[in-house]
Amino acid sequence: MTHTPNQESFMRSRLGGIVAVAALALAACGSTQEEGRATIRFATPSFSDGAAIPVTYTCDGENKNPGISWANVPEGAKSLVVLMEDRDADNFPHWVVYNLPPTVTGIAEGGAPEGGNVGLNGFNKPGYGGPCPPSGRHRYFFSVFALDTVLALPDGATRDQVRAAMKGHVMSRGTFMGSYQKGGA
């Protein structure tokens, strides 16, 4: 069967569109596997998702971590990771906690995690380092990840070391966001 040049052009463009859609679908599947599905319910009683972070939890206040809690960790999880990152400052890490037992359901306000390891924040100190943006309002993302492994990292690992070690092991995740502008909520 012979086709006119217009028919051949039409078929090539349709095939190209199908290939592009398939490539996008495969890329989306890859990123979902990398970060896990968002099935963990994660929150803080200190502020609503998307709201301003109270001064108490920042460098302008007591610089203590808000209480956080989560639920719906998938069965078979071996450990949890908690990260707090400033997305408006190149994902600057403010809190790195890893190898939490999957039975832990939160971290108390101003408290240390039960079990697990405490990593170095972007200030090169262990534990929580509250929001302290140099200018403007920044967005801080709190995330919890359920992993199918325990990370082979010692205390004091950096966020980049934790992220590299958890690659390919994320079963599920949960995220919430708060914002802060220095000098006030």
Question: How many angstroms separate the CA atoms of 124 and 100, rounded?
Answer: 21
Residue 124 has pLDDT above 90, yes or no: yes
Q: Cα angle vertex 48, ends 101, 109, to 5°?
A: 45
By residue count, the chain amounts to: 185
In the prediction, which pLDDT does 87 show? 96
The answer to whether 119 and 126 have CB atoms below 8 angstroms apart is: yes
Each domain of the chain, given as residue ranges in start order, spans: 1-35, 37-181
Residue 7 has pLDDT above 90, yes or no: no
Q: What is the DSSP string of 123-153?
A: TS-BS------SSSEEEEEEEEEEESS----
Higher-confidence residue: 28 or 155? 155
In the prediction, which pLDDT does 3 show? 54
As a whole number of Å, the end-to-end CA separation of the chain is: 71
Question: How many angstroms separate the CA atoms of 163 and 104, rounded?
Answer: 20
The answer to whether 55 and 69 have CB atoms below 8 angstroms apart is: no
For domain 37-181, give the fold. Phosphatidylethanolamine-binding Protein (3.90.280)
Query: Which of helix, strand or coil describes residue 100?
Result: strand
Query: Burial, 173: exposed, middle or buried (Cβ in 10 Å; 0-12, 13-18, 19+)?
Result: buried
pLDDT tens for each residue of 149-180: 999 999 999 999 999 999 999 999 999 999 99
pLDDT tens for each residue of 131-153: 999 999 999 999 999 999 999 99
pTM above 0.75, yes or no: yes
Residue 17 has pLDDT above 90, yes or no: no
pLDDT tens for each residue of 34-89: 466 879 999 999 999 999 999 999 999 999 999 999 999 999 999 999 999 999 99
In the prediction, which pLDDT does 25 show? 35
Give bridge partners of residue 122 from the DSSP assignment. none
